């Protein structure tokens, strides 16, 4: 999250799939979890839809880019994630741009937010002693960069939506909403979790109330911004049996999974977190919403693993976000991969997940699995163009291969 919160993962005991008759409460095996991952024959499922998070390191491509660089950006990025006003220039020539907004952050270092804080101190959540609370991220010396705003306050919601409308009127295609946390994330100045006093009840806010406030706010945003493309950076490990979580997902067009499949915590213990994440993505797809995998990969192997998982789950409307070798002057040709239409859904072969396409194949050996060697049975080349007839993958590794010839 930029800026935002990184929360510890929770273990989800049940694998929930949309094909279950009991849908939300159904528990199925890992084998059943591999039965999904996209429609047969949709060519878009074999292509990369890349989102570039246009952080400050990308500003020079927005402000000082050449005509050739602008053409490259239009042709190679599905979306830009912008940070007004720096990203406003890209609205004139770029691909569709979503602007960044945090769902409940108030930054005292930002002049506009500082004015709001001074005028509306009641918008900040507080502990039992009346002390202001924060989003527990990057805390130091007893303070954190952002106060936690009261999501249940109608005035705060109204202000947030007014600011969003102002940005959309500039020509932004939509909004990327950070910190759509369906688990309560509020803390003191040292980053310790604190349940704020709920201004509406005078009692410590419960997790149930928190989810209800977040869900209601996202639905208000959806209703008030009906034509905006909305992406939620939501925690995927929230309790899907709670209707508030389903409603939050329904209020988005795209749901981001921050860190994607490369999150090291997915490999913790027996690696069951990996299967839980697959289940969550299938669940989001069952609600006719798309998924954005944001990878923080910083080497070739990590990036390839994320791309392989992307092809396993892509239904043709999903996307992947990366800043690693994803600039006009530093571009990895793998981002241009086109495997063609899928020949079916993903399947499990021994421990390896596989999905076949007309022009290639995606393979993933999940975290915690033993090393496997896969004989391909046909000539392929890897994304560097080297011929391969078999692939050896350790647990937590993936491969994307293109048919030779």
In the predicted model, what is the mean pLDDT of residues 323-350?
96
- CATH label of the domain that carries residue 322: 3.20.20.80
Phi/psi at 118 (5° precision): -65, -40
Tokens of 187: 């803390």
CA separation for the pair 363, 92 (Å, rounded): 40
**% of residues, the chain, pLDDT over 90:** 86
Per-residue pLDDT at 290 exceeds 70: yes
For residue 334, being part of any structural domain is answered with: yes
Alpha helices by DSSP H, listed for 92-170, are: 111-119, 154-168
| Contact predicate 380/388, CB 8 Å | yes
Residue 270 confidence class, pLDDT cut points 50, 70, 90: confident
Residue 265 confidence class, pLDDT cut points 50, 70, 90: confident
Per-residue pLDDT at 9 exceeds 90: no
Residue 2: closest CA among 281, 280, 294, 390: 294
- Domain of 117 in residue numbering reads as 30-346
Per-residue pLDDT at 38 exceeds 60: no
pLDDT in the model for residue 7: 34
For residue 167, being part of any structural domain is answered with: yes
Q: What is the pLDDT of residues 337-366, one digit of tens each?
A: 999 999 999 999 989 999 999 999 999 999
Mean pLDDT of the chain: 90
Q: What is the pLDDT of residues 244-262, one digit of tens each?
A: 999 999 999 999 999 999 9
pLDDT in the model for residue 264: 86
For residue 374, being part of any structural domain is answered with: no
pLDDT in the model for residue 40: 58
Per-residue pLDDT at 29 exceeds 50: no
pLDDT in the model for residue 169: 98
In the predicted model, what is the mean pLDDT of residues 86-96?
97
Residue 97: closest CA among 8, 172, 4: 172
Measure the CA dihedral 35/39/44/46, to 10°.
30
Which residue reads 């994440």 in tokens? 277
Per-residue pLDDT at 37 exceeds 60: no
In the predicted model, what is the mean pLDDT of residues 37-52?
84
3-state secondary structure at position 216: helix
For residue 68, being part of any structural domain is answered with: yes
| Contact predicate 193/216, CB 8 Å | no
Split into its structural domains, the chain has a count of 1
Per-residue pLDDT at 4 exceeds 50: no
In the predicted model, what is the mean pLDDT of residues 273-283?
96
Tokens of 400: 């994307």
CA separation for the pair 293, 315 (Å, rounded): 13
In the predicted model, what is the mean pLDDT of residues 68-88?
98
For residue 151, being part of any structural domain is answered with: yes
Q: Which of 9-13, 84-88, 276-280, 379-383 has the lowest mean pLDDT?
A: 9-13
For residue 14, being part of any structural domain is answered with: no
For residue 6, being part of any structural domain is answered with: no
CA separation for the pair 281, 240 (Å, rounded): 12
Residue 308: closest CA among 387, 388, 364: 364
Buried b (16+ CB within 10 A) or exposed e, 163-185: ebeebbeeebbbbbbbbbbbbbb
| Contact predicate 32/297, CB 8 Å | no
pLDDT in the model for residue 389: 93
In the predicted model, what is the mean pLDDT of residues 152-165?
98
C-alpha Rg value of the chain to the nearest Å: 22
Residue 43: closest CA among 322, 308, 332, 342: 342
Residue 16 confidence class, pLDDT cut points 50, 70, 90: very low
Cα–chain-centroid distance for residue 340? 24
For residue 376, being part of any structural domain is answered with: no
**% of residues, the chain, pLDDT over 70:** 90
């Amino acid at each position: 999250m930029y800026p935002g919160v990184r929360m510890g993962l929770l273990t989800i005991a049940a694998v929930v799939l949309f094909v279950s008759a009991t849908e939300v409460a159904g528990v199925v095996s890992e084998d059943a979890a591999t039965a999904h991952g996209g429609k047969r024959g949709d060519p878009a499922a074999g292509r990369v839809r890349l989102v570039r998070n246009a952080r400050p390191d990308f500003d020079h491509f927005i402000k000082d880019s050449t005509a050739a660089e602008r053409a490259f950006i239009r042709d190679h990025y599905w979306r830009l994630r912008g940070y007004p006003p720096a990203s406003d220039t890209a609205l004139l020539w770029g691909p569709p741009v979503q602007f960044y907004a945090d769902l409940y952050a108030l930054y005292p270092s930002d002049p506009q937010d500082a004015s709001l804080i001074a005028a509306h101190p009641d918008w900040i959540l507080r502990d039992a002693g009346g002390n202001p609370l924060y989003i527990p991220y990057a805390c130091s010396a007893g303070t954190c960069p952002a106060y936690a705003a009261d999501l249940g306050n109608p005035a705060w919601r109204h202000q947030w939506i007014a600011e969003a409308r102002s940005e959309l009127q500039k020509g932004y295609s939509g909004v990327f909403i950070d910190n759509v946390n369906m688990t309560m994330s509020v803390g003191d100045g040292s980053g310790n979790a604190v349940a704020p006093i709920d201004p509406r009840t005078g009692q410590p806010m419960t997790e149930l109330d928190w989810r209800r406030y977040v869900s209601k706010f996202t639905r208000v945003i959806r209703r008030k911004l009906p034509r905006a493309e909305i992406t939620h950076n939501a925690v995927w490990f929230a309790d899907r049996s709670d209707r508030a979580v389903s409603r939050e997902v329904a209020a988005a067009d795209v749901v981001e999974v921050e860190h994607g499949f490369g999150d090291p915590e997915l490999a913790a213990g027996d690696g069951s977190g990996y299967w839980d994440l697959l289940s969550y993505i299938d669940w989001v797809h069952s609600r006719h919403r798309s998924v954005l995998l944001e990878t923080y990969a910083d080497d070739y192997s990590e990036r390839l693993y994320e791309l392989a998982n992307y092809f396993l789950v892509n239904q043709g409307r999903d996307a992947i976000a990366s800043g690693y070798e994803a600039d006009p002057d530093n571009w990895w040709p793998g981002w241009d991969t086109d495997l063609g239409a899928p020949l079916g859904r993903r399947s499990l072969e021994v421990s390896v997940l596989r999905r076949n396409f007309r022009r290639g194949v995606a393979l993933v050996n999940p975290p915690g699995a033993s090393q496997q060697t896969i004989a391909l049975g046909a000539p392929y080349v890897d994304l560097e163009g080297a011929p391969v007839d078999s692939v050896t993958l350790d647990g937590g590794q993936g491969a994307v291969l293109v048919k030779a010839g």
